[in-house]
C-alpha cells in the first residue's frame, strides 16, 4: 500500500511538472499570437483609439483647461486661507465646498478675462494692420520699383542683364500659362468648384465643432476642479488595489514628479512669456516701431514654445515692419536678439530655474521629437514630457548602479579608464592629460592614414578607368 501511495505521489509530481511546462509553452504561443495580431491590426487599433479620442474631445479639452486653471484655483485658495489665518481663525471644514466653488469661479473668470483682453488687444490691431497694408503696400511697392528702375538706368551692364532676364521670365511665364495654368483652370479648378465649396463648409463646421467642444470642455473642467480630491483618492485606491505597495508607491511618486514638472514648466513659461511681451511692448514704444501692440502679443505668445518660439514670432513680425521701413525692421531684429539673450540668461532661469533638469541639447531634442509627432502642441509639452522620461531612466540607472555598489555621480565616469577593486573599496581610475593627448594623437594619425589610403585607392581607380576608356576607344 505504501509503495502504491509513493508511486501515485511520484506520478502526480511528474504530471504537475509536465503540465506546468506545457502550460508555459501554451502561454508563450498565445502571447506570440496576440502580439502578431496586434502588429497586423495596428492601423485598425490606432483608428479605434483616435475614434474614441474624437468622441471624448470635450473631456480632453476639459482636462487640459482644468489643469491650466488648477494653479490659479490653488493661488486663490491660499489667499483666502491666509486672510483667515491673519485673523487668528481656522477655515471651517463645513465651508470647504463653498471655498472650492468661489475659487473655481475666480479661476474661470481670470482665465476668460485674460483671453478677452488678449482678443481686445489683438483684433483691433489686426484690422488696423490689414487696412494699413492695403493702403500702404501699393505705394511701398511703387516706391521700391521706382528706386530699382533708377538704379538700373544708371548702370548699363545691369540694365542689359535685366532686359535679358525679363525676356526669359516672360517667355517662361507664357509657356507655363499655355501649357499648365490654362489647362488646369479648365480641367481642375472649374469642375471642382463644388468640391472646394464643400471643403470650405466642412472647415467652418469643424471650427464651430471646436467652439462647441471648448464650451462643453469648460463645463467638464468645472466638474473636474470641483471633484479633483475625490478623483485623486479613487486613482490612488485603484493603484494600490492593482499593484504591490512598493510598486504603487513608485507609480504615485512619479505621477507627483510629472505633475510638478508640467505645472512648474507651463505656469513658469506663461509668466516668462508675459514678461517678454511686456518688455517688447515698452522697447518698441521707445524705438517708435510700428504695430507695437500686435507684434508684442505675437512675440509673447510664441515665446511659450521653447527654443523655436522666438524665431517663429520674429519672422512674420519682421516682415510686417519691413513693409513699412527696412531700417526699422533691422532695429526690431536687433531688439529681438537682445530680448532673447535677456530671457535665456536672466529672466528664464530666474522664473523656471531647473524645473525640467534637462540640458540645452535634450531640450532641443525633445522639441524636435515631439514636435514631429504632434506639431505645435508637441513643442509645448515635449520638454516636460521628455523630462519625466529622462528622470525615470536616470532613477532606474542609479538604482542599478547602487545595487552593484557603484557611484551614480556622472562626474566619476568623466574620462574614466577603468574601475579597480582595492582594499579601500572601488577606485575610479581616470586618464591623465598626457594619456588623453596621446589618444588624440593616435586617433589623428589613424584618420590621416585612412584618408591617405582612400586617396590612394581613388587614384588607382582613376588609372584603371582611364586605361579602360582608352582600350574602349581603340576597339
Q: What is the 3-state secondary structure (H, E, C) of the chain?
A: CHHHHHHHHHHHHHHHHHHHHHHHHHHHHHHHHHHHHHHHCHHHHHHHHHHHHHHCHHHHHHHHHHHHHHHHHHHHHHHHHHHHHHCCCCCCHHHHHHHHHHHHHHHHHHHHHHHHHHHHHHHHHHHHHHHHHHHHHHHHHHHHHHHHHHHHHCCHHHHHHHHHHHHHHHHHHHHHHHHHHHHHHHHHHCCCHHHHHHHHHHHHHHHHHHHHHHHHHHHHHHHHHHCHHHHHHHHHHHHHHHCCHHHHHHHHHHHHHHHHHHHHHHHHHHHHHHHHHHHHHHHHHHHCCCCHHHHHHHHHHHCCCCCCHHHHHHHHHHHHHHHHCHHHHHHHHHHHHHHHHHHHHHHHHHHHCCCCCCCHHHHHHHHHHHHHHHHHHHHHHHHHHHHHHHHHHHHHHHHHHHHCCCCCCHHHHCCEEEEEEECCEEEEEECCHHHHHHHHHHHHHHHHHHHHHHHHHHHHHHHHHHHHHHHHHHC
Mean pLDDT value of segment 21-39: 79
- pLDDT tens digits, one per residue of 264-305: 888 888 888 888 989 999 999 999 888 888 888 889 888 888
Which of the two residues, 81 and 146, has the higher pLDDT score? 81
Percent of the chain with pLDDT over 70: 79
pLDDT(12) > 70: no
- pLDDT tens digits, one per residue of 181-226: 677 666 766 666 677 777 778 888 888 888 899 999 999 999 999 8
pLDDT at 183: 72
Please report which confidence band the pLDDT of residue 373 belongs to, taking 50, 70 and 90 as the band edges: confident
pLDDT at 234: 94
Q: Which of 308-322, 407-421, 443-457 has the lowest mean pLDDT?
A: 443-457
pLDDT(372) > 90: no
Taking CB atoms within 8 Å and a gap of at least 24, the contacts of 247-252 are: none
pLDDT at 473: 54
pLDDT at 35: 83
pLDDT at 443: 61
pLDDT(401) > 50: yes
Please report which confidence band the pLDDT of residue 332 belongs to, taking 50, 70 and 90 as the band edges: very high
Which of the two residues, 101 and 187, has the higher pLDDT score? 101
Please report which confidence band the pLDDT of residue 253 belongs to, taking 50, 70 and 90 as the band edges: very high
Mean pLDDT value of segment 170-185: 71
Mean pLDDT value of segment 323-340: 88
pLDDT(249) > 90: yes
Which of the two residues, 91 and 340, has the higher pLDDT score? 340
Mean pLDDT value of segment 359-373: 83
B/e letters for 234-245, b = 16+ CB within 10 Å, e = fewer, are eeeeebeeeeee
Mean pLDDT value of segment 107-120: 88
Q: Which of 52-56, 226-230, 418-422 has the lowest mean pLDDT?
A: 418-422
> Which residues, listed in sequence order, are joined to residue 464 by a DSSP beta bridge?
none
pLDDT(462) > 50: yes
pLDDT at 235: 93
Please report which confidence band the pLDDT of residue 376 belongs to, taking 50, 70 and 90 as the band edges: confident
pLDDT at 100: 85
Please report which confidence band the pLDDT of residue 255 belongs to, taking 50, 70 and 90 as the band edges: very high
Please report which confidence band the pLDDT of residue 2 belongs to, taking 50, 70 and 90 as the band edges: very low
- pLDDT tens digits, one per residue of 63-79: 999 998 998 898 898 88
pLDDT at 5: 47
Mean pLDDT estimate for the chain: 80
pLDDT at 453: 65
Mean pLDDT value of segment 371-395: 86
Which of the two residues, 373 and 176, has the higher pLDDT score? 373
Amino acid at each position: 500500500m505504501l509503495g502504491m501511495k509513493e508511486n501515485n505521489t511520484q506520478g502526480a509530481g511528474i504530471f504537475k511538472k509536465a503540465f506546468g511546462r506545457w502550460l508555459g509553452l501554451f502561454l508563450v504561443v498565445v502571447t506570440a499570437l496576440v502580439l502578431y495580431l496586434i502588429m497586423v491590426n495596428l492601423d485598425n487599433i490606432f483608428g479605434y483609439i483616435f475614434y474614441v479620442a474624437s468622441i471624448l474631445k470635450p473631456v480632453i479639452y476639459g482636462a487640459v483647461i482644468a489643469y491650466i486653471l488648477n494653479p490659479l484655483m490653488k493661488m486663490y485658495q491660499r489667499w483666502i486661507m491666509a486672510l483667515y489665518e491673519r485673523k487668528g481663525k481656522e477655515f471651517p471644514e463645513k465651508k470647504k465646498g463653498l471655498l472650492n466653488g468661489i475659487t473655481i469661479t475666480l479661476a474661470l473668470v481670470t482665465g476668460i478675462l485674460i483671453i478677452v483682453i488678449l482678443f481686445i488687444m489683438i483684433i483691433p490691431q489686426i484690422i488696423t494692420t490689414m487696412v494699413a497694408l492695403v493702403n500702404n503696400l501699393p505705394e511701398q511697392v511703387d516706391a521700391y520699383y521706382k528706386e530699382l528702375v533708377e538704379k538700373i538706368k544708371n548702370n548699363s551692364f545691369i540694365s542689359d542683364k535685366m532686359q535679358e532676364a525679363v525676356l526669359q521670365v516672360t517667355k517662361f511665364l507664357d509657356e507655363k500659362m499655355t501649357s499648365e495654368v490654362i489647362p488646369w483652370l479648365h480641367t481642375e479648378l472649374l469642375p471642382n468648384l463644388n468640391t472646394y465649396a464643400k471643403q470650405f463648409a466642412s472647415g467652418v463646421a469643424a471650427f464651430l465643432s471646436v467652439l462647441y467642444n471648448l464650451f462643453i470642455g469648460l463645463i467638464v473642467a468645472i466638474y473636474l476642479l470641483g471633484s479633483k480630491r475625490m478623483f485623486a483618492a479613487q486613482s490612488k485606491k485603484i493603484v494600490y488595489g492593482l499593484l504591490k505597495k512598493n510598486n504603487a508607491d513608485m507609480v504615485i511618486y512619479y505621477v507627483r514628479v510629472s505633475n510638478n514638472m508640467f505645472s512648474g514648466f507651463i505656469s513658469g513659461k506663461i509668466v516668462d512669456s508675459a514678461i517678454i511681451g511686456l518688455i517688447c511692448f515698452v522697447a518698441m514704444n521707445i524705438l517708435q516701431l510700428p504695430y507695437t501692440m500686435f507684434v508684442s502679443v505675437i512675440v509673447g505668445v510664441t515665446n511659450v514654445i521653447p527654443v523655436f518660439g522666438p524665431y517663429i514670432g520674429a519672422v512674420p513680425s519682421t516682415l510686417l515692419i519691413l513693409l513699412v521701413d527696412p531700417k526699422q525692421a533691422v532695429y526690431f531684429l536687433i531688439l529681438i536678439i537682445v530680448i532673447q539673450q535677456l530671457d535665456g540668461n536672466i529672466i528664464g532661469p530666474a522664473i523656471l530655474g531647473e524645473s525640467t533638469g534637462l540640458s540645452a541639447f535634450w531640450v532641443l531634442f525633445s522639441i524636435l521629437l515631439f514636435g514631429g509627432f504632434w506639431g505645435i502642441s508637441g513643442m509645448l509639452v515635449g520638454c516636460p514630457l521628455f523630462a519625466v522620461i529622462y528622470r525615470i531612466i536616470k532613477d532606474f540607472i542609479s538604482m542599478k548602479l547602487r545595487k552593484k555598489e557603484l557611484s551614480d555621480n556622472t562626474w566619476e565616469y568623466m574620462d574614466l579608464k577603468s574601475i579597480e577593486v582595492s582594499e579601500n573599496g572601488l577606485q575610479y581610475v581616470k586618464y591623465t592629460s598626457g594619456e588623453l593627448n596621446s589618444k588624440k594623437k593616435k586617433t589623428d594619425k589613424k584618420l590621416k592614414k585612412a584618408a591617405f589610403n582612400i586617396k590612394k585607392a581613388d587614384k588607382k581607380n582613376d588609372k584603371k578607368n582611364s586605361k579602360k576608356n582608352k582600350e574602349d576607344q581603340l576597339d
